[in-house]
Amino acid sequence: MKRVKGLWNKTVFPLFLMILTPHVALIMWYVSVHCEGSYSVFLGHFAGKPFYTSIIELWATMRPPSQFSVLVLFGFSVWSVILMKLLPGKIIKGPLTPKGNIPVYVDNGFLNYIVTMATFSIITVLLKVQGFSPSVIYDRFDEFIATLQIFSPLFCVLLYLKGRYWPSTTDNGVSGNFIFDFYWGTELYPRIFGIDIKVFTNCRFGMTVWALLVCIHALKSFELYGFVDSMFVSAVLQLIYITKFFWWEGGYMSTIDIMVDRAGYYICWGCLVYVPTFYASVSMYLVQQPVHLGITWSSLILLTGILCIAVNYLADLQKQEVRGTGGKCLVWGKRPNIIRAKYQLENGKEKESILLASGWWGLARHFNYLAEIMLALCWTVPSLFVNIMPYSYVIFLTFLLIHRSYRDDDKCGDKYGSFWVEYCQMVPHRIVPLLF
Ligand code: NDP
């Protein structure tokens, strides 16, 4: 039974995801642009044809990488790396790793984001004056997907080899199963020429490109129809969320993405390809499917979305503050209810950490996930209920976060043992208070 579970977790599931996800990334674009945002129209395109010819036809609709797409993506990557290196920021420390290392970062993510978005706005105005528009990226997005689909797996191969033969820290290693090692990664905090790879792929590329694409989609929509409130509401909520992300980037360095997930296909390919294609799919959909919501619905959705973003942010911040002050702070006006949980590093050294069992962390063990799902729903609802396609992201996110809550329970159970059991008894629900 254990062998079957191992085979599933370490080989079949990773292989399945690595085969499936590149198609999904392409399908999101194809359905938005060629199928009126409808999965049934999409299926109709390939009805009656054998599965493999449908797949070949689908990939054949995508134009190959062009000089334009390669230059834009390469130029943007170089820009991001330069900003990462040059912009000032406080030196912050990540959490202690299982091998006893402490990663160090320059906290310049918010500045990086502001400089990039401001530069994009200036470029947009300059291009518009000349009669051009950055919305050409929407028009030629298939070339960008093709470029990402070729370069990102190659980048993951490089990361696999780097972690295996030239690791940056002792938090590296292989399991001996190539499929799993490639998928999961061989190194926790790889750095190349001092550039932290996960900060680059997750924050400076993935999250920033998501924000830029939302702006490009909104611009395209404006060029086509003028002001459309559904696009406005969806774009504003996504941009507030992404801005919040960069404001809190220091806290992101203590999340599962960074402290647990290694730099492999799962997280790096995900941030390089999946975030631009899948996460930005709602606004991509709205370009061709505008909806007029009216002022009442627009305001209601906008306010609910902002509330959810605030809850998500405050929950993440609460954990960070309680740990940062060693529990000497107030949570919702009261002294926090905490467990001082002991755990051991791989070298046997004993350490202590704090588990917060009040405030947002007393409602459910991952109440922040509920707010995350709700806010994604808020920026999707402006598309109304004509098609399932725009809901793909929020459906995916729900599965991802439920799965993650189980993963985190396993991870924390292994790390904290009886202290985690005690916390689970105090806070019995994973994500939704009283329900789940
Ligand atoms: P959490 O922020 O919930 O972090 C979990 C970690 O926090 C645990 O591994 C543990 O780490 C520590 N922890 C767990 N319980 C407690 C507690 N009661 N008190 C103190 N520390 C605790 O999860 P994520 O890292 O997954 O999420 C971070 C943010 O990113 C969230 O806002 C989430 O919604 C968002 N997110 C967004 C995704 C997206 O694709 N849009 C995907 C995933 C997350 P330790 O070992 O340090 O104890």
For 112-133, the pLDDT digits (tens) are 999 999 999 999 999 999 999 9
Residue to probe by mutation, ligand 1, list 245, 254, 255, 279, most atoms within 8 Å of CB: 255
Q: What is the mean pLDDT of residues 226-235?
A: 98
For 98, the enclosing helix (H) or strand (E) is none
Task: Please identify, by atom number, the ligand 1 atom nearest to the C-alpha of residue 423.
Answer: 18
* 120 Cα: distance to centroid of ligand 1 (angstroms): 31
DSSP 3-state helix, strand, coil percentages of the chain (rounded to 5)? 65, 5, 25
Q: What is the pLDDT of residue 48?
A: 87
Instruction: Give 364's strand partners.
Output: none
Q: Is the CB of 355 under 6 A from ligand 1?
A: yes
* 402 Cα: distance to centroid of ligand 1 (angstroms): 12
Distance CA 242, CA 236 (A): 10
* 211 Cα: distance to centroid of ligand 1 (angstroms): 22
Q: What is the pLDDT of residue 2?
A: 64
Q: Is the CB of 321 under 6 A from ligand 1?
A: no
Residues above pLDDT 70, as percent of the chain: 99
Residue to probe by mutation, ligand 1, list 258, 369, 379, 392, most atoms within 8 Å of CB: 369
Residue closest via CA to ligand 1's atom 42 equals 401
Tokens matching residue 37: 């945002």
Instruction: Quickly list DSSP for 33-72.
Output: HHSTT-HHHHHHHTTTS-HHHHHHHHHHTSPPP-HHHHHH
Residue closest via CA to ligand 1's atom 33 equals 369
* 108 Cα: distance to centroid of ligand 1 (angstroms): 21
* 401 Cα: distance to centroid of ligand 1 (angstroms): 10
Q: Is the CB of 237 under 6 A from ligand 1?
A: no
Average pLDDT of the residues of the chain: 96
User: Which pLDDT tens digit goes with each residue over 72-98?
Assistant: 999 999 999 999 999 999 999 999 998
- pLDDT beyond 80 at 424: yes
Distance CA 102, CA 143 (A): 40
Q: What is the pLDDT of residue 254?
A: 92
Phi-psi region of 265 (alpha: psi -120 to 50; beta: other; left: phi over 0): alpha
- pLDDT beyond 70 at 1: no
Task: Please identify, by atom number, the ligand 1 atom nearest to the C-alpha of residue 256.
Answer: 25
* 259 Cα: distance to centroid of ligand 1 (angstroms): 10
Residue closest via CA to ligand 1's atom 8 equals 408
Residue to probe by mutation, ligand 1, list 207, 322, 368, most atoms within 8 Å of CB: 368
Q: Is the CB of 413 under 6 A from ligand 1?
A: no
Contact of 216 with 135, CB cutoff 8 Å: yes
Q: What is the pLDDT of residue 8?
A: 84
* 202 Cα: distance to centroid of ligand 1 (angstroms): 16
Q: Is the CB of 30 under 6 A from ligand 1?
A: no
Tokens matching residue 131: 């009669």
Confidence band of 174 (pLDDT split at 50, 70, 90)? very high
List all residues 6 or more positions away from 205 whose beta carbon is below 8 Å from its beta carbon: 76, 77, 80, 271, 272
3-state secondary structure of 331: strand
List all residues 6 or more positions away from 361 whose beta carbon is below 8 Å from its beta carbon: 315, 318, 319, 355, 367, 427
Cβ neighbours around 168 below 10 Å, total:
20
Residue closest via CA to ligand 1's atom 39 equals 397
Q: Is the CB of 243 under 6 A from ligand 1?
A: no
Cβ neighbours around 202 below 10 Å, total:
25
Distance CA 123, CA 290 (A): 26
List all residues 6 or more positions away from 119 whose beta carbon is below 8 Å from its beta carbon: none
Q: Is the CB of 368 under 6 A from ligand 1?
A: yes
Q: Is the CB of 366 under 6 A from ligand 1?
A: yes
Q: What is the pLDDT of residue 347?
A: 87
User: Which pLDDT tens digit goes with each residue over 378-422?
Assistant: 999 999 999 999 999 999 999 999 999 999 999 999 999 999 999
